[in-house]
């Protein structure tokens, strides 16, 4: 029995859980405010005041939205059919985006791939589903960090704790006793399967406990767990560098909101002569409960405005007795808070390699080329994730296809390009590269299009036709830009722009179809 592996895995899960919980708090905007003043902290807690500006999730979402699987294909048609079946059976159009986002949120995410057998023991399908790093952890071999030593999965099942250890050739199932904390090795025992509730009396041994049911042998040769991670051996949350700036933003925003009341209703003061002070017939300590109006819920005169005889309005005369001067305390200016907030947003963008415009779409109005330069580190990060996640997804599908009877499947995982040319400057650059002698296939791939897309476009197309198409795209992009500017100046309406562009695109499609038919 691998009780030592079990306890080691439990310790690893517990140690890493703190970091994962912290990552989730910052992504979901539930990280607590940090205040030096205990009075402010107590006041906000008592009134459950929440003025969160959660920018920390932006680095996660920015990467996740760029990570879209374009296709998983194989040169073998039978394999392609099985890939489509796996995709549909497991709703991977929903499961994979969630898996990718969670990998960014925690730095780690796990995809379980479990074969499902029929009564004869034949694998009829595979189940693929996400598992959180808060409950699952792959333990790597210290001698060879690329090799999985074993995987632990631990969860709560009512008043019991359950755990599974997954190895290359078997799975072990463990459980605690009722209401056990599971901190000591003695708290754990093999999780033996319960007998059938309604055993078949004609079947020998039906209804009896199987002492070996907690140990499940298999011949897979690997563990059915695939690790999606931002780094090795374990990942770092995409927004890890945003924690500090987010703390500052949260504090600045909460403090700023505390000054809004003073901006709307400034705190006032009155200076009096000591010898003539007679500001009221009542002193602050003279108010009793019966002196308060019934509709004030016990609030004092200062709270409801009944301690002032001064009325604002045309023709009103203010008579101030005993005061030599009055005034008000100016509230802190909003810029005192808003400027540092924007500084921290910019710092967050730089630390996390996330373009600033993804935090603030109105931050700048620059050309497409300058955007591409700004996006350089971000695009590199996205492409790195495509490489890492793509390797894990490839391994998961190879494992699944082998269980379904394909001994040596050949597949490829393709992603939607992290960046592609869509603006006039970009197409003009592509045009200039081809005119300068750069091979047309290379120029289009550098524009961010996949190799199979480029090959399909170039199939049966000569240089003259390709140049014509690029010229059309450049002209179309230029026209769209100019029409957009005209709409902004209200020279033309947005509906008219949309109609003109739709008509132009329809004409181009019809022309292209006619040329293909001819």
pLDDT tens digit sequence for 453-462: 677 767 766 6
pLDDT tens digit sequence for 47-87: 555 667 899 999 999 999 999 998 899 999 999 999 999 99
CA gap 288, 438 in Å, rounded: 90
User: What is the DSSP annotation of 262-309?
Assistant: HHHS-EEEEEE-TTT----SS-GGG--GGGS-GGGTT--HHHHTTT--
Q: Tokens at residue 149, please?
A: 């030593």
CA gap 515, 462 in Å, rounded: 13
> What average pLDDT is seen over the chain?
81
* C-alpha closest to that of 450 among 73, 55, 16: 73
Residue 335's pLDDT band (cuts 50, 70, 90): confident
Average pLDDT over residues 197-222: 72
DSSP secondary structure code for residue 195 in this structure: P
pLDDT score recorded for residue 307? 52
Q: Where are the beta strands (DSSP E) in 177-251?
A: 188-190, 215-217, 225-229
CA gap 311, 352 in Å, rounded: 55
Report the predicted TM-score, pTM, of the whole model to 2 decimal places: 0.73
Residue 276's pLDDT band (cuts 50, 70, 90): low
Phi, psi of 138 (to 5 degrees): -85, 130
* C-alpha closest to that of 107 among 81, 133, 130: 133
- Whether 112 and 127 have beta carbons less than 8 Å apart is answered as yes
Most confident of 2-6, 332-336, 492-496: 2-6
Average pLDDT over residues 208-236: 91
Between 304 and 395, the higher pLDDT residue: 395
Among 73-82, 89-98, 128-137, 471-480, the minimum mean pLDDT is found in 471-480
- Whether 104 and 238 have beta carbons less than 8 Å apart is answered as yes
% of the chain beyond a pLDDT of 70? 71
pLDDT score recorded for residue 317? 66
Please give the span between the terminal C-alpha atoms of the chain, in angstroms, as a whole number: 73
- Whether 139 and 151 have beta carbons less than 8 Å apart is answered as yes
Residue ranges of the alpha helices (H) in 436-493?
440-446, 451-458, 463-488
Residue 434's pLDDT band (cuts 50, 70, 90): confident
Residue 86: exposure state from Cβ atoms within 10 A (0-12, 13-18, ≥19): buried
Q: Tokens at residue 240, please?
A: 């890890």
CA gap 392, 14 in Å, rounded: 25
pLDDT tens digit sequence for 392-433: 999 999 999 999 999 999 999 989 888 766 555 666 677 777
Q: Does the pLDDT at position 129 exceed 70?
A: yes
Q: Does the pLDDT at position 193 exceed 60?
A: yes
Average pLDDT over residues 352-375: 74
Q: Tokens at residue 171, please?
A: 């799975």
């Amino acid at each position: 029995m691998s009780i030592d592996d079990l306890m080691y895995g439990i310790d690893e899960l517990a140690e890493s859980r703190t970091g994962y919980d912290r990552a989730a708090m910052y992504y979901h905007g539930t990280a607590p405010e940090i205040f030096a003043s205990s009075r402010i902290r107590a006041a906000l807690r008592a009134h459950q005041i929440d003025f969160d500006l959660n920018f920390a999730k932006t680095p996660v979402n920015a990467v996740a939205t760029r990570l879209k699987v374009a296709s998983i294909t194989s040169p073998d048609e039978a394999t392609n059919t099985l890939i489509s079946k796996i995709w549909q059976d497991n709703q991977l159009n929903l499961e994979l985006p969630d898996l990718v986002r969670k990998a960014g949120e925690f730095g780690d995410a796990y995809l379980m791939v479990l074969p499902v057998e029929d009564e004869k023991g034949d694998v009829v399908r595979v189940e693929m589903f996400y598992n959180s790093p808060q409950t699952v952890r792959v333990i790597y071999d210290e001698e060879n960090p690329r090799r999985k030593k074993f995987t632990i999965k631990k969860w709560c099942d009512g008043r019991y704790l359950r755990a599974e250890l997954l190895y290359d050739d078997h799975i072990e199932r463990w459980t605690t006793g009722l209401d056990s904390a599971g901190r000591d090795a003695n708290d754990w025992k093999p999780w033996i399967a319960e007998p059938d509730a309604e055993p078949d009396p004609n079947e020998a041994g039906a209804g009896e406990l199987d002492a070996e049911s907690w140990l499940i042998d298999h011949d897979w040769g690997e563990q059915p767990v695939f690790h999606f991670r931002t780094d090795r051996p374990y990942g770092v949350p995409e927004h890890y560098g945003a924690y500090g700036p987010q703390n500052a933003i949260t504090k600045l925003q909460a403090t700023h909101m505390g000054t809004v009341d003073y901006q709307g209703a400034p705190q006032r003061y009155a200076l009096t002569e000591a010898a003539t002070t007679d500001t009221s017939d009542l002193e602050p300590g003279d108010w009793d409960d019966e002196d308060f109006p019934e509709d004030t819920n016990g609030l004092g005169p200062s709270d409801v405005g009944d301690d002032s005889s001064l009325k604002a309005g045309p023709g009103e005369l203010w008579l101030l007795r005993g005061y030599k001067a009055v005034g008000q305390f100016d509230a802190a200016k909003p810029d005192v808070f808003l400027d540092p907030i924007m500084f921290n947003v910019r710092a967050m963008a730089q630390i996390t390699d996330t373009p600033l415009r993804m935090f603030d779409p109105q931050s700048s109005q620059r050309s497409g080329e300058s955007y591409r330069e700004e996006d350089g580190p971000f695009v590199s990060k996205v492409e790195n994730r495509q490489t890492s996640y793509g390797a894990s997804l490839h391994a998961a599908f190879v494992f699944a296809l082998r269980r379904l009877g394909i001994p040596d499947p050949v597949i490829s995982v393709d992603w939607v390009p992290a960046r592609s040319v869509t603006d006039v400057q970009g197409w003009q650059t592509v045009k200039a590269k081809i005119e300068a002698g750069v091979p047309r296939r290379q120029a289009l791939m550098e524009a961010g299009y996949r190799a199979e897309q480029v090959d399909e476009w170039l199939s049966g197309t000569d240089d003259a036709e390709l140049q014509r198409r690029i010229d059309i795209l450049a002209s179309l992009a230029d026209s769209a830009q100019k029409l957009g500017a005209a709409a902004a100046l209200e020279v033309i309406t947005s509906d008219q722009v949309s109609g003109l562009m739709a008509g132009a695109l329809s004409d181009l499609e019809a022309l292209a179809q006619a040329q293909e038919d001819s």
